[in-house]
A and B are shown apart, each in its own frame.
Chain A
Amino acid sequence: MRAAAAVSPRSLAGGPSLSRSGLVLGGGLVLLVAAAVAAVALGSTSISLGDTLGILGHRLLGIGSGTGWSATSEEIIIELRLPRALTAILVGGGLGMAGAAFQALLRNPLADPYIIGTASGASLGAVVALMLPLLAPGLALGAGSAWLGIGLVQVLAFLGGVGTVLLVYAVSRSARGGAVTLLLTGYAVSSILAAGVALLMYLSGSRLGAIFAWLMGSLDAGSWPKLALAAPLATVSLLLLLSRWRRLNVLLLGDAQAAHLGVDVGRERLLLTMLASLATSAVVAVAGTIGFVGLVVPHVLRLVAGPDHRLLLPASVLYGGALLTLADVGARLAGGIPVGIITALVGAPFFIWLLVRSRRVEALA
């Protein structure tokens, strides 16, 4: 029996070293706050930073006299930029964590939250809603109006996303396969739904611009009512997902070993899939299918901070939220292009650079 090395109990059972966790999470928090401030302070109308902070302080914290700036500035900050910034944080954070969960579930570091059909299902729902005035005028119900600020588009997008995941899961279960079957079924179902979307786009006439903008993903329609709808659902799903970090770690050992450690693998996969898909569908419903955030953020964080989900999940929320918020600032300042275009233009090259860099490091080792 060899002499035991002097290893502290903390480092035996604890997670990644405290300092590394602290650095990652602290950095994420700082970035998030900076992004949020930028998102509220910058826009196509220039409002001074002093006024911005004064308005925020007055309306959110009740400090300050409430005068010194125009009502318009306050309107823009509080009714336009603030809900939009918070929506960006929610959507980016939600996509980040859902992406991390799917990458673990499917044991594929290139998985994203849309991979098993959420995107195509939500897209079909949204496009049907956008096309309803053309397809069935009687059903349109004054499609421009909305109940509590939530329109038919959000409802059908959410139902489409969730419904598709359930369908894909049911089909792959009956085929009795594991992660690969789920992926393939998701791909097949997504293709069918995408063809449906393409057909509707072909028939769309004047609606094509609106449809395209939705598919690219944008935060233009960020508003308090939409936030009030999406936030509780997404937040609860994400918190539940976060609480299952141990099981996500254990699933990395493989299905057989995970079962030996007490995880009911079939049930756990379903639960995790549903939680991640609910969060994804909730954010897609309000922002469209914004790409790359759910793929790049958790992937990069895993390379930097390791695969331990106790750190990876919260970090994905912070960095995902921060990055999407910054991307949206860029999108707005570039003339209001859909933020999905920015995330793709920035995300893809960055991802390639990372792959190349990690390859080179491997070759040197």
Chain B
Amino acid sequence: MTGAAIVGAGDIAIANDLAFGYPLTGGRRREVLRGVDLALRPGELVAIVGVNGSGKTTLLRLLSGVLAPTGGELHLFGRPVAAWSRMELAARVAVLPQGLELPAGFRVGELVAMGRLPHARSWFGSTGQDEAAVERALRDADALDLASRTPDELSGGERQRVLLAMALAQEPELLLLDEPTLHLDLAHQLAVLETIRRLRHQRGIAVVAVLHDLALAAALAPRVAVLDGGSLVADGSPDDVLTPELVRRVFGVQVEELFSADGVRHLALIVPGEG
């Protein structure tokens, strides 16, 4: 359990006793997140797991700066989150949202170019810098061949790649992914994970991914944070964090540890038999 962390230069995010509650009538709040201490360094890759309603998406939205904390402190890129303007943060933090909707009538290249808004300099056109960034984002997201298509022609996986390219066009230092594997079939899920790894290594982007699949989380990330009822109950390597006891306590299911021939630990879900 980390104590209060000291903000160091170059830290992506530091959360101290972070809390958030949604406002209700009568001035009360519905507490969704409480007492979260978290530190994120440049280039780190963290998977956040927990049951539905445990506060994962809320934590992501706090990290993007779109939500303001109602308790505790949050520093992003060395400054309190309130000291940043929306546009300044958008030039550093990008979000891949859960849904796959894209507005009709635009071609993919134009949609990805919208991600340049935080960096846009010229009034009416796009600069060479913008165009280069868009091309690089499409390439990184493996969507370059989709550039002149329109959304109605795209499959779920392709839309995902377009949205990723849009986020990458922001040239972020921190990329937040909200359930990036939710609507995808298995092959595409793996492809997304591959892309995330590649981005981290090639571009040095810090990545925080909310995942519902524990196996994927364990396979993808060197660091897993577990949320339970709004509190951070574990934060460390998958082997240390995702023990059968914790999984039973937090997720309410039985798992068994299995070790494959190459020594990699896997979790197997124990399904009760009939009778």
Q: A12-B131, A264-B86, A307-B106 are in contact. Are A2 and B115 (CB under 8 A)?
A: no
Which residues of chain B from 151 to 202 have a CB within 8 Å of any chain A CB? Answer: 167, 170
Interface size class of A (residues with CB under 8 A): 35 or more
Give the residue of B86, B104, B109 whose beta carbon is less than 8 angstroms from that of A263. Answer: B86
Residues of B within 8 A of A262 (CB): 86-87, 89-91, 117-118
Q: How far is the CA of A310 from the CA of B110 in the complex (A)?
A: 11
B73 at the interface (CB under 8 A from A): no
The number of chain B residues with a CB under 8 A from chain A is 46
Q: A2-B142, A11-B109, A310-B124 are in contact. Are A259 and B86 (CB under 8 A)?
A: yes
A302 pairs with B87, CB closer than 8 A? no
Give the residue of B66, B124, B135, B148 whose beta carbon is less than 8 angstroms from that of A259. Answer: B66
Q: Which residue on A lies nearest to B134, using beta carbons?
A: A13
Which of A42-50, A112-120, A151-159, A243-251 is near enough to bind chain B?
A243-251
B120 at the interface (CB under 8 A from A): yes
A5 pairs with B144, CB closer than 8 A? yes
- Write out, one digit per residue, whether chain B residues 33-45 have a CB within 8 A of any chain A CB (1) or not (0): 0000000000000
Q: Which residue on A lies nearest to B198, using beta carbons?
A: A1
Q: A7-B144, A260-B90 are in contact. Are A13 and B105 (CB under 8 A)?
A: no
> Max chain B CB contacts within 10 Å: which of A14, A245, A302?
A14
Residues of B within 8 A of A264 (CB): 85-87
Q: How far is the CA of A264 from the CA of B68 in the complex (A)?
A: 13
Residues of A within 8 A of B247 (CB): none
Residues of B within 8 A of A13 (CB): 109-110, 112-113, 116, 126, 130-131, 134-135
CB-based A-B contact count at 8 angstroms: 107
Which residues of chain B from 120 to 143 have a CB within 8 Å of any chain A CB? Answer: 120, 123-126, 128, 130-132, 134-135, 138-139, 142
Q: How far is the CA of A249 from the CA of B148 in the complex (A)?
A: 18
Give the residue of A12, A16, A254 whose beta carbon is less than 8 angstroms from that of B138. Answer: A12
Which residues of chain B from 59 to 100 have a CB within 8 Å of any chain A CB? Answer: 64, 66, 85-87, 89-91, 94-95, 97
A252 at the interface (CB under 8 A from B): yes
Q: Which residue on B lies nearest to A1, using beta carbons?
A: B142
Give the residue of B64, B91, B110, B145 whose beta carbon is less than 8 angstroms from that of A4. Answer: B145
Q: How far is the CA of A2 from the CA of B138 in the complex (A)?
A: 12
Q: How far is the CA of A7 from the CA of B143 in the complex (A)?
A: 12
Which residues of chain A from 211 to 249 have a CB within 8 Å of any chain B CB? Answer: 243, 245-247, 249
A246 pairs with B131, CB closer than 8 A? no
B101 at the interface (CB under 8 A from A): yes
Q: How far is the CB of B13 from chain A (nearest CB, A)?
A: 16
Q: How far is the CB of A175 from chain B (nearest CB, A)?
A: 12
A358 at the interface (CB under 8 A from B): no
A256 at the interface (CB under 8 A from B): yes
B114 pairs with A261, CB closer than 8 A? yes
B252 at the interface (CB under 8 A from A): no
Q: A13-B131, A243-B123, A310-B124 are in contact. Are A261 and B105 (CB under 8 A)?
A: no
A62 at the interface (CB under 8 A from B): no
Q: How far is the CA of A247 from the CA of B102 in the complex (A)?
A: 16
5 nearest A-B pairs in the assembled complex, by CB-CB distance: A262-B90, A262-B87, A13-B131, A12-B109, A260-B95
The 10 sampled A-B contact pairs (Cβ below 8 Å) are: A7-B147, A13-B126, A13-B134, A14-B109, A249-B106, A253-B102, A253-B114, A254-B101, A257-B95, A306-B105
Q: Which residues of B are in contact with A by a Cβ distance under 8 Å?
A: 64, 66, 85-87, 89-91, 94-95, 97, 101-106, 109-110, 112-118, 120, 123-126, 128, 130-132, 134-135, 138-139, 142, 144-145, 147-148, 167, 170
Instruction: A13-B126, A16-B110 given; name 10 further pairs at CB < 8 Å.
Output: A2-B145, A9-B134, A12-B138, A13-B110, A15-B110, A249-B106, A257-B95, A264-B85, A264-B87, A306-B106
